[in-house]
Amino acid sequence: MKNLAIILSVMVLFAAVGVVGCGGGGGQNELMQTTSSGAPAWVTKGSGAFTGDRGKAFYGVGSAPKMVDVAMQRDRANNRARRAILQIFNNYIAYMMKDYARSTTAGDMSKESYEADVLTVQKTVSIGDVNGAQIVDSWKDPADGTVYSLAVLDLAAVADVLANKGELDAKLRDYVRANAAKAFDDLEKEEAKAGH
């Protein structure tokens, strides 16, 4: 019953994202449909930063080819979904740091200094920090046995991870707290332009 509620929540989320992204056009929402192979829409939609009924969140899709050890296959797909979130998270950090550089230096920050700050933040965030991402759905392709997993990490958790990193400068942590949503919106817009 709990899994059904989670699956329905994810479907509603993608419906909301599709309505926002498509301007609410007529007909059944593409995200609610399945592919010709019967796969859930999130399998082909892929990873990204999306706004929906869960609020602002990072979504990661991972897969693992057919394996003899089904538990290992599922774990591999789950871990790859979390790793996809980490990659999106690094893009998010880059957007946030670009805005941070603008706000603290009025555009005079050198490229080297900016890149050093981005790397400092990225090095303080690890796969362990995104393990709070929840696996909300999985699907096994009946044609080839590949398992797909969908992980979700909401923006509030992301902001908490960054804001509570003791290794970061206090001014930077304050900036993260104040600007997490704006950086997310910037990333979401860029992904929409790129077709995600």
Q: How many domains does the chain have?
A: 1
Cα separation, 113 vs 106, in Å, equals: 14
130 is a domain residue: yes
38 is a domain residue: no
CATH of the domain at 159: 3.10.129
156 is a domain residue: yes
15 is a domain residue: no
46 is a domain residue: no
Cβ neighbours, 10 Å, residue 139: 19
| pLDDT at residue 119 in the model | 56
Spatial contact of 62 and 146, defined as CB atoms under 8 Å apart = no
Convert the pLDDT of each residue in 86-127 to its tens digit: 888 777 777 677 666 666 555 555 555 555 555 555 555 555
141 is a domain residue: yes
Res. 183 pLDDT band, cuts 50 70 90 = confident
| pLDDT at residue 37 in the model | 67
186 is a domain residue: yes
- Provide the residue range defining the domain that includes 142: 57-193
Convert the pLDDT of each residue in 49-96 to its tens digit: 888 777 888 899 999 999 999 999 999 999 999 999 988 877 777 767
Vertex 160 angle, CA 154 and 161, to 5°: 95
133 is a domain residue: yes
Half-sphere exposure of 135 (CA within 13 A, CB side): 18
Half-sphere exposure of 39 (CA within 13 A, CB side): 22
Res. 41 pLDDT band, cuts 50 70 90 = confident
Radius of gyration, CA atoms only, the chain: 18
Cα separation, 96 vs 129, in Å, equals: 18
